[in-house]
Structure 1
Amino acid sequence: MVKQFIARYLAYSSFLILGATSAVASDKLNNNETYKLLNLFGDVFEHVRSNYVRHVSDKDLIEAAINGMLISLDPHSSYLNPEHFKNMQVQTQGRFGGLGIEVTMDDGYIRVVSPIDGTPASKAGIKTGDLITHLDGKPILGLSLSQAVKLMRGKVGTSIRLTIIRKNGKTLKLKLVRATIPITTVRSRVEEDLGYIRISSFSQTTETGLKKAMKKLTKELGKNFSGLIIDLRNNPGGLLNQAIAVSDAFLNRGEIVSTRTREKNDHKRFHAKKGDLANGRPIVLLINGGSASASEIVAGALQDHKRAIVLGTKSFGKGSVQTIIPLEKNGAMRLTTALYYTPSGKSIQKVGIQPDIVVKETLLARPINNLTTREEDLRGAINNKGNKSKLKNSSKKQSSASSRKDFQLQRAMDLLKGVAILNKG
């Protein structure tokens, strides 16, 4: 009975999903062959529920089968049961509980895309590219992405032990305490005569946060506002519409991104509207290997239109679009439905965005202005009586301690200062 029901249900679903294109696909199975394969699924289902060594609920078997079908397609397609679907909706709205880590599947293990700023994962030193192999001593291998994410989440204040393998092969065991993760996706500060904006992810609040940040920087710097740094390092992505909005904020015209499905005529193009929040000021955009998906859309758009100089290291290379398809009261499926392309027509899937200026991540051991000894530092050096100007602390605004230790950020600041000098000339 169950077997017949499953076969009929899947056959009906296949008709709805595949029927529209079956006439044009040369390698499509005919109805009889399709039914045989669906019948095979029913046979396997019946054998498992009748003979497996332990009892497994029909619900768990069906969910596992659906998820297995989806994750076999690519690392980003998956099934979201009602609980996971609800959690995903909460996360994109800008607040959720857990460790604060963006992950993907990699050969059965969990690969870190990036930790989110200020979260337990970030504070524990988890890095982009880390491979999570065990949770509380139990192997992840065999779990789906949604199952692993569920295990990492939990009651605020409870702890979890992660076993991690670094890219260099080193194994680490870390204990993290779960926390409520309020996602403030946009932060800003003044760096000398420059504005600095950090976007940690793209949620429903990102566009609003960006506008507030730009308004604040413009007010603080006034006429001295000579350039802008946008930091997308370790930004795992998020909502496509927010990436488009952020790109649009700095472009007066032109294409931002296009998406293409498997159907030749099903292409969507998104264009910028007139208006530039930075009013033409020069922009340097920072990326690294943890900059993925929506981050790469922004970087690609501003780079192709020569609106920003992209500095850092090559980005993650996730150039696919996932559509969330609700399944009535049975959760949803996350399905890769398109690839996105930069304005110049490039796909960054598995390739990434190549920076205009490659600068590797290096922490400076001490402030950059103390790296060398100058004449003025020598004991007994002759004073310059003819020059009464004070060389030290000549900038109206000083750079923050964090920026002095951030080599990539320092290079971005130097670049913008150079542009400002050229513009004055």
Structure 2
Amino acid sequence: MTFRTGLLLGCAFLAGIAAGPQIAHLSLPAGSSLTSNALAASLAKDSDSDSPAENFRLLSLFGHVLEQVKANYVDQVSNRELIINALNGMLSGLDPHSSYMTEKQYADLQTRTKGEFGGLGLEVQADDSHIRVVSPIDDTPAAKAGIKTGDYIVAIDGKNIDGLPLDEAVQRMRGKPDTKISLTLIREKTPKPLIVTMTRAVIHIQVIKSALYDSTGYIRVSEFNEETSPGLEAAYRKLKADAHGHLTGLVLDLRSDPGGLLNQAIAVSSDFIRNGEIVSTRARHAQESQRWDAHGTDITDGLPMVVLINGGSASASEIVAGALQDHQRAVLVGEKSFGKGSVQTILPIPGDGALRLTTARYYTPSGRSIQGLGIVPDVTVRETREDPGYSIREADLSHIIKNQGGNTAKPPTRVDLPPIVSSIPGEPPANWPAFDLTKPVTDFQLQQGLKIVRAMATGPHTADASPANLPRHD
């Protein structure tokens, strides 16, 4: 498949990226307007024909509605605003991940993939005229303020934003560094709205963190940008050096990783898989389909691995998890992933920003599509005992593309799981301490992952991660 900028995988806009496309005013030839009856007749045909006559009727319909709104709407409105709304409606009506970007929004997106941008550090997404948090990014104002995946933002600085377009809400959240902003949040099972005050900052995305727990390495990937694969490889080299060359296992943490660049997902997968397919994509036209294979190296030389996933693991992180699961290279621990199995291409429009358009579905090495289904871990372990009530995943969004073309919804049957898996509890015990991001001993999923990877290497190990040995920033 020929792409103009490269592939982008992700499930949301980032707070700090605005929208506002420009397009030339659409005018119709003199005498080409349709009467109301003719318009109704044209709509009633509901034709899928792409004939010139049908195209002319539909463009005439668009022009007629445009002029009626301009002439009769309660407030004066510009052509630009109306056509912006039309473009946004055109793309959002296709699927949740296609969108239009202005030149500035496109530039901000490019800056973000390089690892630095301004804002709060929030991944947000439109959800039925509401703004939902997909994920806070590690070590950002949003994460430090305790904003959680699934929170709904209903007001900014005390002003209601219900029904506000996503791009406008994002623009309001942006601002100069060191300025205050308050968000009003609705959270499941919380009786009253939460008001969170933060200070805007220039966000430096630290996509890789690592820690050494005894002889077990831990690497967290918060998203997939241009720094991810080289950062992961550097972190692994440092872990190996800190362990004096005696690492016995590795935990790769992809929880709440919303995705990013496809080439980085392929590169990370290839760091652990020696041979075979990593991922394939199938586009509208068969000749544009592609497949990527491993490059013949495993930086760990076959070290036992556990991968942590949850409902916030989406897109590029699902590609990595799916590849490692299908190759039985790692044991997946945690909760079912988000289920975004589509690929977006950035198509620049010179002088007018870019389109972010869904152009293909992707498939794991075994040929399955996880679109709307997600990846089910090999060992299901919940983060807390609390009933989540509901969780928003791809299948819950409007206008999602169909899951089709896959040969199975399940990964290959595993016969290599260590015996300890049968004794791993599915949720924390009643006396388990409340989860604290700064204290690994409170992270129930991590602790079970450590037990499993240690069992894979040397047998059961009971030592937990020490609070004094926190993940360091590499």
TM-score after normalising by structure 2: 0.74
Task: Indicate whether 1:29 and 2:66 are aligned.
Answer: no
1:209 aligned partner, one-letter code: G
Q: 2:325 maps to what in 1?
A: 303
Once residues 147 and 312 of structure 1 are traced to their aligned partners in structure 2, the CA distance between those partners, rounded to angstroms, is 35
Q: 2:414 maps to what in 1?
A: none
Q: 1:168 maps to what in 2?
A: 189
Please, what is the CA RMSD of the aligned residues? 2.4
Task: Indicate whether 1:126 and 2:144 are aligned.
Answer: no
Q: 1:13 maps to what in 2?
A: none
Q: Match of 1:411, SS?
A: helix
Once residues 4 and 128 of structure 1 are traced to their aligned partners in structure 2, the CA distance between those partners, rounded to angstroms, is 40
Query: Which residue among 358, 366, 369 is the counterpart of 1:336?
Result: 358
Task: Indicate whether 1:112 and 2:112 are aligned.
Answer: no
The answer as to whether partners of 1:78 and 1:333 remain within 8 angstroms in 2 is yes
Task: Indicate whether 1:283 and 2:279 are aligned.
Answer: no
Task: Indicate whether 1:410 and 2:431 are aligned.
Answer: no
TM-score after normalising by structure 1: 0.82
Shift in alpha-carbon separation, 1:142–1:34, aligned structure 2, 3 A: farther
Q: 1:215 maps to what in 2?
A: 237
1:96 aligned partner, one-letter code: F
Q: 1:57 maps to what in 2?
A: 78
Q: Match of 1:224, SS?
A: coil
How far apart are 1:82 and its partner, in Å?
1.7
Task: Indicate whether 1:88 and 2:125 are aligned.
Answer: no
Once residues 40 and 106 of structure 1 are traced to their aligned partners in structure 2, the CA distance between those partners, rounded to angstroms, is 29
The answer as to whether partners of 2:138 and 2:206 remain within 8 angstroms in 1 is no
How far apart are 1:108 and its partner, in Å?
1.1
Q: Which moved more, 1:137-146 or 1:30-39?
A: 137-146
2:143 aligned partner, one-letter code: S
Once residues 100 and 73 of structure 2 are traced to their aligned partners in structure 1, the CA distance between those partners, rounded to angstroms, is 24
How far apart are 1:5 and its partner, in Å?
4.2
How far apart are 1:51 and its partner, in Å?
3.4
Q: 2:273 maps to what in 1?
A: 251
The answer as to whether partners of 2:25 and 2:79 remain within 8 angstroms in 1 is no
Once residues 24 and 125 of structure 2 are traced to their aligned partners in structure 1, the CA distance between those partners, rounded to angstroms, is 33
Once residues 258 and 150 of structure 1 are traced to their aligned partners in structure 2, the CA distance between those partners, rounded to angstroms, is 36
The answer as to whether partners of 1:3 and 1:43 remain within 8 angstroms in 2 is no
Higher helix share: 1
The answer as to whether partners of 1:80 and 1:146 remain within 8 angstroms in 2 is no
Shift in alpha-carbon separation, 1:299–1:64, aligned structure 2, 3 A: same
Q: Match of 1:213, SS?
A: helix
The answer as to whether partners of 2:116 and 2:203 remain within 8 angstroms in 1 is yes
Once residues 301 and 279 of structure 2 are traced to their aligned partners in structure 1, the CA distance between those partners, rounded to angstroms, is 22
Task: Indicate whether 1:227 and 2:249 are aligned.
Answer: yes
How far apart are 1:168 and its partner, in Å?
2.9
Q: Match of 1:241, SS?
A: helix
What does 1:59-78 correspond to in 2, within 5 Å?
Answer: 59-78=80-99
Q: Match of 2:170, SS?
A: helix
Task: Indicate whether 1:177 and 2:214 are aligned.
Answer: no
Q: Deviations over 1:209-260 (max 9, x none)?
A: 0111011011111342100010011111111111111111111011111111
Once residues 163 and 314 of structure 1 are traced to their aligned partners in structure 2, the CA distance between those partners, rounded to angstroms, is 28
Once residues 401 and 149 of structure 1 are traced to their aligned partners in structure 2, the CA distance between those partners, rounded to angstroms, is 29
Identical positions, percent: 52
The answer as to whether partners of 1:158 and 1:178 remain within 8 angstroms in 2 is yes
Once residues 147 and 175 of structure 1 are traced to their aligned partners in structure 2, the CA distance between those partners, rounded to angstroms, is 20
Q: 1:22 maps to what in 2?
A: none
The answer as to whether partners of 1:114 and 1:127 remain within 8 angstroms in 2 is yes
Shift in alpha-carbon separation, 1:255–1:97, aligned structure 2, 3 A: same
The answer as to whether partners of 1:84 and 1:331 remain within 8 angstroms in 2 is yes
How far apart are 1:276 and its partner, in Å?
0.5
What does 1:95-106 correspond to in 2, within 5 Å?
Answer: 95-106=116-127
Shift in alpha-carbon separation, 1:228–1:6, aligned structure 2, 3 A: farther
Once residues 268 and 245 of structure 1 are traced to their aligned partners in structure 2, the CA distance between those partners, rounded to angstroms, is 16
Query: Which residue among 458, 466, 471 is the counterpart of 1:421?
Result: 458
How far apart are 1:404 and its partner, in Å?
1.3
Once residues 151 and 144 of structure 2 are traced to their aligned partners in structure 1, the CA distance between those partners, rounded to angstroms, is 15
Consecutive unaligned residues in structure 2, runs of 5 or more: 1-22, 30-46, 386-427, 461-474
**Count of residue pairs the alignment pairs up:** 372
Once residues 211 and 27 of structure 2 are traced to their aligned partners in structure 1, the CA distance between those partners, rounded to angstroms, is 57
Consecutive unaligned residues in structure 1, runs of 5 or more: 9-25, 373-399
